[in-house]
Structure 1
Amino acid sequence: MTDTAAYFPLLRGQRVAVLANQTSVAEMPGAAGADAAGRVHLVDLLHGEGFDVAAIFSPEHGFRGTADAGEHVKSSVDTRTGIPIRSLYDGNTKRPSDEAMRSFDVLVVDMQDVGLRFYTYYISMLRMMDACADFGRRVVVLDRPNPNGHIIDGPVLDMKYRSGVGAIPVPVLHGLTMGEIARMAAGEGWAKKCALTVVKCRNYTHATEYLLPVAPSPNLPTARAVYLYAALCPFEGTVVSLGRGTDKPFEMYGHPDMTGRAFTFTPRPTAGAKHPPLEGRLCRGVDLSGMPLAEARDVGFSLKYVMDACADLGMGDKFFTPMFEKLVGVEWVREMILAGAPEEEIRARWADDVERYREKRMQYLLYE
């Protein structure tokens, strides 16, 4: 976003739309629209520079990033600039109307992803790429680092489980930035080919540690939550709470019937979790909020927490919901856990698929 020389020329004289949210900010002291601390939002920057910003498209959680996961968000108007906000999560369609598509010439995409297949911002981007391909619109992706970009792991999505939380056949941790996802999706035919420009991050490699300056969504408020997300999000497909409705979501897990656990918590309605799972019930479980950041950064897609809770509760198949397959991407992980297979054996089953993906991924990388 700060490399304005790379993309401002593409926007001059064009009607501009943006796909953006609360993460579309950068430190740019003195820039048009910057606040006293020098931080500026992409919309305010473009508006302040005199560009014709015709529309803001907003992904899951809304333009301001405050809505619950999957919550319907109405279209509205940005109060600061008067620009219409067109929600892609309004419950009616995940794709803009023909009228909306005709209102602009170039789409600028700038959102902070966290590097997981079931994190939905990239899906909104791919849907917009498809629409832009149909209407001959250019797409400019302002790239951002992937905080989990150092790990590639987990099953590759079986496309029969394709859903709103998994759209392309990549591992759970895919090791791509948004710009690289756009390139790979177009190259592999997972999205329609459009006129695509990616403005690269400077001084970034996939090994670079990157702490997010803005929470990417309401329930990933900390760096530790971002790192543990891959290992704890599969609990969304079980009876277990992962801490939604507490001050430490994605840093704990528990259930009222878990045994021998000193740690307890009670999910309550909070911003971003209006009705959390197991609301109002005392849960016993595990607190991971004290894990050192360096350790959390290397957890990756571990099944040990899900397997721990599954064994403790002894519910068999009732431990899982159909969402579990949509998240892990294949049917055999559940089957192997219930059969008592060790984690190493389960991991070995996806290793060859991940290796084939790594080789395919190489041709689309923009960073070492």
Structure 2
Amino acid sequence: MASERVDIYMPKLRGKSVAVVGNATSLVGDTHLVDTLIENNISVAKVFAPEHGFRGDADAGATIDDDIDTKTGLPILSLYGANKKPSKAALNGVDTIVFDIQDVGVRFYTYLSTLHYVMEAAAENDIQVIVLDRPNPNGGYIDGPVLEPSVKSFVGLHPVPLVYGMTIGEYAKMINGEGWLAGGIQANLTVVPIANYARDTAYVLPIKPSPNLPTMNAVYLYPSLALFEGTVVSIGRGTPFPFEIVGHPQYPKQNFSFRPEPSFGARNPKLNGALCFGYDLRNTAATMPTPNATINLEWLLKFYAAAPNKDTFFLERNFFDKLAGNEDLRDQIKSGLNEAAIRQSWQLDLDAFKAVRAKYLIYPPSN
């Protein structure tokens, strides 16, 4: 991990007042980055916490409040909820921001939006940003619709595919280089690269990146199953297997069923208490996707086809569109378009994105 390359980034932090954007994944070996910096006499002024909080123990979508870190006494300022962008007052006295969060390579994983707003605030306040790069477990392929401006939101700010095949450090370079920050400003950005890394090298995350991605199988299935979040179908929140199972009470009875119940990371799960029928996908994506991999639309198409009331299958219309990245996918599904035709509709935009992406790649493939 770049976080372990202390010889590169520690000298840049000496004599600086540092803010850390991090969460439970911000580790240097087994030690949290914040603790490592303090042990090396780096002046850490505060911590900014993204979705799920600094320690990674909050529900998806839950408002994160400002807090004090009990171990260090540092103030923790929320970047999820009302204030998604660091304010000028919050950055007062800060010289450098260190961003170290494990990404999973999917457009609607909100840490990308946190990165965007951190870079934007830093650019506006003449503060350096250092991104400690980490492997992308879904970095070996590119797929899905490219986001259109009409559905831009915190679950998708940039014109990139659903799966974009870049590390978070490469992505930061693209945000800067493509002028995506407000007014086209650019952050004073340094990316600390991962040593001896190839983008299609399998990487097992040492810690779950968020409460509802507890296994590598869930991480690999996340690009496909998260689209169900915009529908009436459950993807297993409120069970031990979020993003590894999928079902609904009105789906034709299968051999597999589950019942969502309130639990850590899902205090009010969709279809709470209802017996859901569907698919057990716990053994379907056990290895890192290859360059020829695609997101799976089959499950989504099957559930829509079996829905007794198709008018209520999609939840609030805009949310599914925000996840999909366009206003077409929902209509394509409703019109009965097959998977091949849906994929073909993405191709020109995917080709254009690949040309943009190529400018910012740091790491080669393994062969």
Q: TM-score, normalised by structure 2?
A: 0.95
Name 1:149's counterpart in structure 2.
Answer: 139
Give the equivalent residue in structure 1 for 2:151. 161
State the match for 1:18 in structure 2: 20
Matches of 2:311 and 2:297, distance apart in 1? 16
Q: Does 1:100 align with 2:94?
A: no
Aligned partner of 2:76: which letter? I
2:51 aligned partner: 60
| 2:230 paired residue number | 237
Q: 2:312 is matched with which residue?
A: 318
1:183 to 137, 152, 173: 173
Alpha-carbon deviation of 1:121? 0.6
Deviations 1:64-114 (A, max 9, x none): 00101111111111111111111112x321122222111310000000000
What stretches of structure 2 of length at least 5 have no aligned partner? Answer: none
Aligned-partner SS, 2:169: helix
Q: CA deviation at 1:300?
A: 3.7
Q: In structure 1, how many angstroms separate the alpha carbons of the residues matched to 2:46 and 2:113? A: 19
After TM superposition, the structure 1 = structure 2 runs for residues 73-84 of structure 1, keeping only pairs within 5 Å, are 73-84=64-75
For residue 107 of structure 2, what is the amino acid of its counterpart? Answer: R
Match of 1:71, SS?
Answer: coil
For the 8 Å contact 1:228–1:300, the answer to whether it is kept is no
Please state if 1:308 is matched with 2:318.
no
C-alpha displacement at 1:51, in angstroms?
A: 0.7
C-alpha separation in 2, matches of 1:311 and 1:81: 53
In 2, Cα distance between equivalents of 1:166 and 1:80: 34
2:354 corresponds in structure 1 to 358
Question: CA contact under 8 A between 1:19 and 1:59: conserved in structure 2?
Answer: yes
Against the structure 1 CA distance between its residues 299 and 359, is the aligned structure 2 distance closer, same or farther, given a 3 Å change threshold?
closer
Q: Give the Cα–Cα distance (whole angstroms) in 1 for the partners of residues 206 and 293 of structure 2.
A: 21
Conserved in 1, the CA contact under 8 Å of 2:222 and 2:243?
Answer: yes
In structure 1, the partner of 2:282 is 289
Matches for 1:205-224 after TM superposition, within 5 Å:
205-224=198-217
Find the partner of 2:77 among 78, 81, 86.
86
Matched, 1:6 2:35: no
Matched to 2:65, the amino acid is K
Q: Aligned partners of 2:127, 2:117: CA distance in 1, in Å?
A: 13
Question: Paired residue for 1:132?
Answer: 122
- The residue type paired with residue 23 of structure 2 is N
Deviation at 1:294, TM superposition (A): 2.8
Equivalent residue letter for 1:197: T
- Is 2:138–2:288's contact at 8 Å kept on the other side of the alignment? no
Give the whole-Å Cα distance in 2 for the aligned partners of 1:292 and 1:96.
37
Separation (CA, whole Å) in 2 of partners of 1:137 and 1:94: 18
Q: Match of 1:326, SS? A: helix
Report what 1:70 is aligned to.
61
1:332 matched residue in structure 2? 328
Larger mean CA deviation between 94-103 and 183-192 belongs to: 94-103
CA distances 1:244-300 after superposition (whole Å, capped 9, x unpaired): 000000001100000131211000001110000000111111110122513877754
Q: 1:202/1:296 Cα in 2 relative to 1: closer, same or farther (>3 Å)?
A: closer
Q: Note the alpha carbon deviations across 1:134-164, whole angstroms, 9 max, x for none.
A: 1000000000000000010000001110111
Q: 1:299 to 1:287 in 2, by over 3 A?
A: farther
Q: Give the alignment partner of residue 346 of structure 1, picking from 326, 342, 346.
A: 342
Q: 1:169-217: CA deviations, max 9, x gaps?
A: 1000011111111100111111230110000001211111111101000
**Cα 1:355/1:20, change in 2 over 3 Å:** same
> Contact between 1:253 and 1:287, CA under 8 Å: does it hold in 2?
yes
**Take 2:40 and 2:256, find their aligned partners in 1: how far apart are those partners?**
52
Residue 115 of structure 1 corresponds to: 105
**Residue in 2 aligned with 1:273?**
266
Check conservation: 1:24, 1:111, Cα contact below 8 A.
yes
Q: Is the 8 A contact 1:138 1:194 kept in 2?
A: yes
Residues 318 and 251 of structure 1: CA distance in aligned 2, closer, same or farther (over 3 Å): same
**What is the CA–CA distance in structure 2 between the aligned matches of 1:350 and 1:203, rounded to whole Å?**
33
**Backbone CA RMSD of aligned residues:** 1.3
| Partner residue in 1 for 2:194 | 201
Amino acid at match of 2:252: T
- The whole-number CA distance in structure 2 between the counterparts of 1:52 and 1:110 is 17
d(CA) in 2 for partners of 1:330, 1:82: 43
Conservation of the 8 A alpha-carbon contact between 1:317 and 1:338: no
Q: Distance in 1 between matches of 2:343 and 2:83?
A: 37
Q: Once superposed, which parts of structure 1, at least 4 consecutive aligned residues long, lie more than 4 Å away? A: 295-299
Aligned residues: 356
What amino acid maps onto 1:75 in structure 2? Answer: D
